[in-house]
Amino acid sequence: MREKLIEEKKKKIRKYMYFFILLLVCCLIIFAKIVVPRWFKNLSIFSLKNVVIEPSDYASFLKEYLSLPEGVSLFKIDMAEIYSQLKQVYFVEDCKIEKHLPDTLVIKLKIRTPWVIITDDGSHAIIDRNGYFLAPVENFIGWNIEGIKVQPVGTMTDEKEKIEVLKEIEQWYNYYGIGNSFKVDKISLKDLDKIQLMSGDTSIYIHKEGIDKQLETAKKVLDICDKNNFSFEYIDVRFKEPYIKEKQLKKDE
């Protein structure tokens, strides 16, 4: 009987021991998952020391704009918040943010690229392909576009249809190599049913629908004119049959 009681006590002790060991293991796991990472991330070795911005031309301005606190742990930096802040800068089209352990934040910028020049009642401005107005760029050469209202730098034009039409003109103008015989320097989008592509004192008229087919026709007409040494004032390809207005030579010519 006595031996039986001793055996039961041993069993109880083993149960308590197993429970204690299990509890200890659970505590160690919690400690390893919560306490250790927090301690690890707060080590001074991971304090932010370097912010690298590419291209470097914008580094000084953006470092001041972002105002990242000195000594903050690299792990505590909110990359989504930084991305949101950078997207509010008018010349930043997109960006990529990377954390390089132990102490460096790398920001790679995609800068908006000047596309065309907008001319409006004597005012001039540059926009990118998304219609954002950019700061003046010295010696920039691009198409002069009439018919879009100039707005302040950093804003986006609300004339989105004209931007899309202009993109399509550029696409098919390049595709058909029209610039080889008719180098456009100015485009009027004042009336999308009578778009004027200008090269010096000659023009091509198109409308907003079926730009690809119209410029294909224009290319064929231009080739014929070049082959026959025919000078024209304008070519109108808005209709089924293109119309060519012959250039009137001056008397002294």
Identify the H or E element spanning 196. strand 195-199
Q: Is the dihedral of CA 227, 229, 230, 235 positive or negative?
A: positive
Contact at 8 Å (CB) between 93 and 110? yes
d(CA 209, CA 217): 14
| Apex 206 CA angle, 205 and 212, nearest 5 | 135
Whole-number pLDDT of residue 18: 63
> CB neighbours (10 Å) of residue 107?
22
Classify strands 116-120 and 133-134 as parallel, antiparallel or unpaired.
unpaired
- Which distant-in-sequence residues (6+ apart) come within 8 Å of 73 by Cβ? 41, 42, 46, 47, 48
Whole-number pLDDT of residue 27: 53
Contact at 8 Å (CB) between 114 and 126? yes
d(CA 197, CA 199): 7
Whole-number pLDDT of residue 48: 87
**Taking the domains of the chain in order of start, what are their residue ranges?**
1-41, 44-111, 116-246
Whole-number pLDDT of residue 26: 59
pTM of whole model > 0.95?
no
* CATH number for the segment(s) 116-246: 3.40.50
CA nearest neighbour of 216 among 154, 172, 160 = 172
Whole-number pLDDT of residue 71: 77
* Per-residue model confidence as pLDDT tens digits over 7-40: 666 666 666 566 666 665 555 565 445 544 554 4
**Does residue 31 sit in helix, strand or coil?**
helix
Contact at 8 Å (CB) between 151 and 190? no
> b vs e for 163-189, b when ≥16 Cβ sit within 10 Å of the residue's Cβ?
bebbeebbebbeebebeeebebebbbb
d(CA 124, CA 120): 6
Q: Does domain 44-111 have CATH number 3.10.20.310?
A: yes
Per-residue pLDDT of the chain (253 residues; tens, 9 = 90+): 566 556 666 666 666 566 666 665 555 565 445 544 554 445 567 788 889 999 999 999 999 999 887 778 888 888 999 999 999 999 999 999 999 988 899 999 999 999 999 999 889 999 999 999 999 998 999 999 999 999 999 999 999 999 999 999 999 999 999 999 999 999 999 999 999 999 999 999 999 999 999 999 999 999 999 999 999 999 999 999 999 999 876 655 4
Whole-number pLDDT of residue 183: 97
Whole-number pLDDT of residue 75: 84
Whole-number pLDDT of residue 247: 87
> b vs e for 41-52, b when ≥16 Cβ sit within 10 Å of the residue's Cβ?
eeeeebebeeee
